[in-house]
Structure formats: structure tokens, C-alpha cells
Amino acid sequence: MSRTSHRRALITGASSGIGSAFARTLPEACDLLLTGRNAEALERLAGELARDGRAVKTLVADLAGDKGRTAVVAAGQDFAPDLLINNAGLGAFGRVQDNDPAVERAMVEVNVVAPTVLTRALLPDMLAQARSERRRAGVILVASTAAFQPLPYLSTYAATKAFDHFYALGLASELEHEPLDVLSVCPGPTETAFFERAGSARGPLGPAVDRPETVARQALAALGRQDSVTIGAGNRAYRMLAKLAPDGLLRGPTRRALRRNVKGR
Ligand SMILES: NC(=O)c1ccc[n+]([C@@H]2O[C@H](COP(=O)([O-])OP(=O)(O)OC[C@H]3O[C@@H](n4cnc5c(N)ncnc54)[C@H](OP(=O)(O)O)[C@@H]3O)[C@@H](O)[C@H]2O)c1
């Protein structure tokens, strides 16, 4: 459990994986608004986490479309979170030309448009509330180590995660003197449904495979201390390598490694 003092957290993609882990890691004093598409999973989690004196609300909404995003914004304005966790996301392994066009689009809608719309809609009230109550608010974007360089066979996903990462860093800098912390979270391969749902031919592989609870715990510990956190020493080394390597040097080895995640190749 985390020691964060936030009182109301809105978590997108709370029905599974890292989002559920955020919900379980936040302290009991923090009310929750859990969103996702899987109503049953959301209700199960709400039942697990609700306590006397703790409100745990759920909202079923599809973030790939305006209707779902508008519903989350409206519920968020009503809930008035002081912590917004933009976590919902999906990926798709494969060549762009072979991937389902609807999934290619959904990656941009859910990973890019949704956090942009939610953050812009909720930020002014979160800031005003933090200023008036003299407390700190927070916005988390769950990016990925996929944000650090282009990833062949995961091209669209990596580009959406680069957006999340740079958006968070820019926002954090804009708000440097405000009572609101922004954090980009960059997990490497993590044990969730992500790889299976992304059509990967193999499960999460990497220098280390993290547990979603580790990601949530380290993210909440980093919020307010730094503007980005990369989970795990191996992933931090990879981040450094991707930054220092001459442009394109890692592209070939990365392409060969990721090709093995593409079914039938
Ligand atoms: N697992 C990894 O290796 C890894 C590594 C780095 C970053 N990440 C990032 O971590 C975040 C969470 O992913 P995860 O690993 O926890 O995977 P996951 O278990 O598949 O969870 C994804 C979550 O996103 C929600 N979501 C997906 N599409 C949605 C849509 N159209 N509308 C609303 N919600 C939607 C899902 O909700 P429903 O199931 O209810 O639709 C689910 O709660 C993502 O942003 C992902 O990019 C994951």
C-alpha cells in the first residue's frame, strides 16, 4: 500500500493489469473511480476494495470513442479527483499493413486521444482545488519503455507511448511551480493480459518481467519526486542505451527481436 495522501483517484483501465494494481496499491483513505469496459471485472474489484467510509465507484466506458470519453469526463467532473491515472491502453504486434485498421485506430484513440481529452478536461479544476486546499494533486500517464525509440512490428503502439511520455514531461515542466505533480511511468514487459491481447506470439520477454504491483508501487512512490520513472534497472539501462546510441543503430536488432512476437513470422 502506498503512502500517497491523495483523496480521490480516477483510474482508467482499472479492470485489469496495471490499472487494477494501482487501485489495490492506493491507501484505503483514497476514494476510487474505476473505469474500463469490462463491467464484471470492475464490479469485482470495487467489491474487493470498498470499505465503510470509502467510496469505490465504477464506470463502464469505451475510451476509443467520443461517447465513452465524454462519459468519463462527466463522471470525473462530478467525482473531482485529485489524482488522475491515465492507464488504459492497448497494443498490436505486426506490420502496420497487416494489422486490423480498427485496432490501429483504437490504439491512437485510447492511448493518445483519451489521456489528452481527460487531462485537459479535468486539469483546471484539479489545479484550482489543489491551490484552494493547499494540497498537491497528481496526473499519471502510463507510457512504456516502448516510448524510447521506434519499434518495428509495434510501430503504432510505440509512437502512441512516445506521445504519452513527452506529453507528461512537457506538462510537468509547464506545471513546475503549481501544486500538481505529473509523472510519466515507463514499465518494461509486465505480467498482464497486454501481450496476449496485442496478439503477441510470445509472452512478455525482456531483461526482467515485472509484476503490475511493482509498477504501481514504484509509480506512486515516484509521483512528486521526479517527472518520469522507468521500472527496473534493466529497463533504465535500456533507456540510457536508446538515448545514447546513434540514431538507427538499435533499429536492426530491435526489428529482429520484435519480429519473433509476430504470429506466423
Ligand atoms: N504489460 C506491459 O508489458 C506494459 C508495458 C508498458 C506499458 N504498459 C501500459 O500499461 C497500461 C495498462 O496495460 P496492462 O499491461 O495493464 O494491460 P491489460 O491488462 O490489457 O489492461 C489494459 C486496460 O486498458 C483498458 N482498455 C483497453 N482498451 C480500452 C478501451 N477501448 N476503452 C476503455 N478501456 C480500455 C482495459 O479495460 P477493459 O479490459 O475493461 O476494456 C484494461 O483495463 C497500458 O497503457 C499499456 O500500454 C504495459
Residue by residue, DSSP assigns 62-112 as -TTSHHHHHHHHHHHHHH--SEEEE-------S-TTTS-HHHHHHHHIIII
Q: List, in sequence order, every beta strand (DSSP E) within 143-265.
A: 180-186, 228-230
Mean pLDDT per block of 10 residues along the chain (265 residues) reads 83 98 98 98 98 97 98 98 98 98 98 99 98 97 98 98 98 98 98 96 82 98 98 95 92 93 88
| pTM of this structure | 0.97
CATH number for region 8-259: 3.40.50.720
Ligand 1: residues with CB < 6 A are 13, 15-19, 36-38, 62-64, 87-90, 106, 110, 142, 144, 187, 189-190, 192-194, 197, 204, 212
Listed by start position, the domains of the chain span 8-259
Residue 184, pLDDT score:
98
The 10s digit of each residue's pLDDT in 197-234 is: 999 998 887 667 999 999 999 999 999 999 999 999 99
The 10s digit of each residue's pLDDT in 26-53 is: 999 999 999 999 999 999 999 999 999 9
Residue 1, pLDDT score:
57
Residue 217, pLDDT score:
98
Compute the distance from residue 87 Cα to the ligand 1 centre, in Å: 7
CA nearest neighbour of 185 among 229, 154, 121, 242? 229
Rounded CA-CA distance 146/154 in Å is 9
